[in-house]
Amino acid sequence: MSAPSEAAVRVWHYDGNSGVRREPLLVPAGEDRFMLVDLGREDGPYAYADLVAQGAVDGHPRFGLKKRPGWSMTFAEALPEAVAARLPGTARYGGVIDRIGLWPAVGAFAAVSALIIVGIATVPSMVARLIPRSVEARLGSLMVGDFGERACTDPAGVAALQAMAERMQMRDGVDLRVVDVPMVNAVTLPGGHVVLFSGLLQQASSPDEVAGVLAHELGHVENRDVLESLVRQLGLSVVLGGLDGNVGGYTNALLSASYSRGAEARADGFAIDALRTAQVSPRPTAAFFSKLAKSEVKVKGADALLTYMASHPMSSEREQRFAASAGKAATTPVLDAAQWQALKGICGAGSGKWKGSRLGF
Amino acid sequence: MDQETTNARAFGFAGDWREFAPIAFTNLLLSIVTLGVYTFWAKARERRYLWSRTRFIDDRLEWTGTGLELFIGYVMAFFLFLVPLGVIQFVVQALAIRGEDGLAGLLILIFYLLFLYLLGVAIYRAMRYRLSRTYWHGIRGGSDDQGFGYAVSHLWKTIVGTVAFGLLVPWAMVSLWNERWNRMSFGPHAFQSNGRMTSALIGRYLLYYLMPIVVFIGIALAAALIGPTIAGSPEKIQIAILLTLVVGYVGFFVVLGLIALTFYAAYFREVVGNLSLGGLEFEFDARTKDWLVLFVGNVLLVVVTLGIGTIFLGYRNWTFFVRHIQAYGSLDLDDFTQSTTREPRQGEGLLDAFDVGAF
Asked if B41 and A91 count as a contact pair (C-beta separation under 8 A), the reply is: no
Asked if A301 and A247 count as a contact pair (C-beta separation under 8 A), the reply is: no
Task: Kindly report, residue by residue over A133-178, the tens digit of the pLDDT.
Answer: 788 877 777 776 666 667 888 888 899 999 999 888 888 888 888 8
B104 in contact with chain A, both atoms CB, cutoff 8 A: yes
Report the C-alpha gap between B328 and B3 in whole angstroms.
11
Find the length of chain A. 361
First to last CA, chain B: 32
Task: Kindly report, residue by residue over B193-209, the tens digit of the pLDDT.
Answer: 999 988 888 898 888 88
What chain A residue is nearest to B54 in terms of C-alpha separation? A57
Count CB pairs under 8 A between chains A and B: 139
Q: What is the pLDDT of residue B47?
A: 93
Subunit contact B45:A93, Cβ cutoff 8 A = yes
Q: Which of A102, A144, A243 is opposite residue B26, by nearest beta carbon?
A: A102
What are the counts of helices (DSSP H) followed by strands (DSSP E) for chain B?
Answer: 13, 11
Report the C-alpha gap between B56 and B339 in whole angstroms.
18
DSSP for residue B337: B
What chain B residue is nearest to A112 in terms of C-alpha separation? B34
**Exposure letters B28-38 (e unless 16+ CB within 10 A, then b):** bbbbbbbbbbb
Which of residues 231 through 260 in chain B touch A, CB cutoff 8 A?
Answer: none
Subunit contact A144:B39, Cβ cutoff 8 A = no
Asked if B139 and A70 count as a contact pair (C-beta separation under 8 A), the reply is: yes
With contacts defined as CB-CB under 8 Å, which chain A residues touch B77? none
Q: Which of A72, A145, A242 is opposite residue B138, by nearest beta carbon?
A: A72
User: Residue ranges of chain A with pLDDT lower than 70?
Assistant: 1-6, 94, 144-149, 236-259, 292-316, 349-361
Which of residues 71 through 110 in chain A touch B, CB cutoff 8 A?
Answer: 71-72, 92-94, 97, 102, 105-106, 109-110
ipTM greater than cut 0.90: no
Task: Kindly report, residue by residue over B140-170, the tens digit of the pLDDT.
Answer: 998 888 889 999 999 999 999 888 778 888 9
Report the C-alpha gap between A56 and A48 in whole angstroms.
17
With contacts defined as CB-CB under 8 Å, which chain B residues touch A97? 30
Report the C-alpha gap between B64 and B44 in whole angstroms.
8
Residue of A199, A197, A216 lying closest to A208 (CA atoms): A216
A293 in contact with chain B, both atoms CB, cutoff 8 A: no
What chain A residue is nearest to B68 in terms of C-alpha separation? A94
Subunit contact A18:B337, Cβ cutoff 8 A = yes
What chain A residue is nearest to B340 in terms of C-alpha separation? A17
With contacts defined as CB-CB under 8 Å, which chain B residues touch A21? 59, 137, 333
Choose the mutation target among B31, B55, B97 for the interface with A, i.e. most A CBs under 10 Å. Answer: B97
Which runs of consecutive H residues, i.e. helices, occur in B186-287? 199-230, 234-249, 256-273
Q: Which residues pair with A25 in a beta bridge?
A: A10, A37
With contacts defined as CB-CB under 8 Å, which chain A residues touch B52? 54-55, 57
With contacts defined as CB-CB under 8 Å, which chain A residues touch B140? 69-70
Report the C-alpha gap between B33 and B41 in whole angstroms.
13
Backbone angles phi, psi at A177, to 5 degrees: -150, 160
> For helices A102-130 and A225-239, what crossing angle results, to 10°?
150
In the 3-class helix/strand/coil scheme, how is chain A assigned residue by residue?
A: CCCCCCCCEEEEEEECCECCCECCEEEECCCCEEEEEECCEEEEEEEHHHEEEEEEECCEEEEEECCCCCEEEEECCCCCHHHHCCCCCCCCCCHHHHHHCHHHHHHHHHHHHHHHHHHHHHHHHHHHHHCCHHHHHHHHHHHHCCCHHHECCCHHHHHHHHHHHHHCCCCCCCEEEEECCCCCCEEEECCCEEEEEHHHHHHCCCHHHHHHHHHHHHHHHHHCHHHHHHHHHHHHHHHHHHCCHHHHHHHHHHHHHHHHHHHHHHHHHHHHHHHHHCCCCCHHHHHHHHHHHHHHHHHHHHHHHHCCCCCCCCCHHHHHHHHHCCCCCCCCCCCCHHHHHHHHCCCCCCCCCCCCCCCCC
Asked if A167 and A211 count as a contact pair (C-beta separation under 8 A), the reply is: yes
Report the C-alpha gap between B122 and B148 in whole angstroms.
10
With contacts defined as CB-CB under 8 Å, which chain A residues touch B340? none
C-alpha dihedral sign at B310, B314, B319, B321: positive
Subunit contact B135:A70, Cβ cutoff 8 A = yes
Choose the mutation target among A12, A13, A14 for the interface with B, i.e. most B CBs under 10 Å. Answer: A14
Report the C-alpha gap between A150 and A196 in whole angstroms.
12
Asked if B318 and B310 count as a contact pair (C-beta separation under 8 A), the reply is: no
CA separation, residue B34 to residues A107, A109, A116, A309, B159 (Å)? 10, 5, 10, 30, 40
Q: What is the pLDDT of residue A351?
A: 47
With contacts defined as CB-CB under 8 Å, which chain B residues touch A117? 35
Rg over alpha carbons for chain A, rounded to the nearest Å, is: 35
DSSP SS3 for B278 = coil
CA dihedral B121, B122, B123, B124 (to 10 degrees): 50
Each residue's pLDDT tens digit in chain B (359 positions)? 444 444 468 899 988 889 999 999 999 998 888 888 888 889 989 999 999 999 998 888 999 888 888 888 888 887 777 777 777 877 877 777 676 778 888 888 888 888 888 889 888 988 999 999 999 999 999 888 888 999 999 999 999 988 877 888 899 999 999 999 999 999 889 999 999 988 888 898 888 888 778 877 887 887 777 767 766 677 777 777 787 778 777 767 788 888 888 999 999 999 999 999 988 999 999 999 999 999 999 999 999 988 888 899 999 999 999 999 999 988 888 788 888 888 777 777 666 655 554 44
Subunit contact A241:B74, Cβ cutoff 8 A = yes
With contacts defined as CB-CB under 8 Å, which chain A residues touch B136? 19
DSSP for residue B141: E
Q: What is the pTM of this model?
A: 0.75
Residue of A65, A75, A62 lying closest to A24 (CA atoms): A75
Q: What is the pLDDT of residue A252?
A: 60
With contacts defined as CB-CB under 8 Å, which chain A residues touch B24? none
Q: Please state, as a whole number, how many other Cβ atoms lie within 10 Å of the Cβ of residue A222.
A: 16
Subunit contact A242:B67, Cβ cutoff 8 A = no
Asked if A71 and A86 count as a contact pair (C-beta separation under 8 A), the reply is: no
Q: Please state, as a whole number, how many other Cβ atoms lie within 10 Å of the Cβ of residue A254.
A: 10
With contacts defined as CB-CB under 8 Å, which chain B residues touch A109? 30, 33-34, 38
Subunit contact A70:B37, Cβ cutoff 8 A = no
Subunit contact A17:B337, Cβ cutoff 8 A = yes
A65 in contact with chain B, both atoms CB, cutoff 8 A: no
Task: Kindly report, residue by residue over B270-283, the tens digit of the pLDDT.
Answer: 999 999 998 899 99
Report the C-alpha gap between B290 and B262 in whole angstroms.
10
Report the C-alpha gap between B89 and B78 in whole angstroms.
15
Say which residues have a Cβ less than 8 Å from residue B315's Cβ, sequence separation at least 6: B17, B20, B24, B46, B50
Write the DSSP assignment of B292-330 as a string of letters.
Answer: HHHHHHHHHHHHHTTTGGGGGHHHHHHHHHHHHEEEEEE
Subunit contact A109:B33, Cβ cutoff 8 A = yes
B129 in contact with chain A, both atoms CB, cutoff 8 A: no
Subunit contact B48:A305, Cβ cutoff 8 A = no
DSSP SS3 for B54 = strand
Say which residues have a Cβ less than 8 Å from residue B194's Cβ, sequence separation at least 6: B178, B274
Report the C-alpha gap between A182 and A200 in whole angstroms.
8
Residue of A21, A28, A31 lying closest to A2 (CA atoms): A28
Say which residues have a Cβ less than 8 Å from residue B101's Cβ, sequence separation at least 6: A357, A358, A359, B95
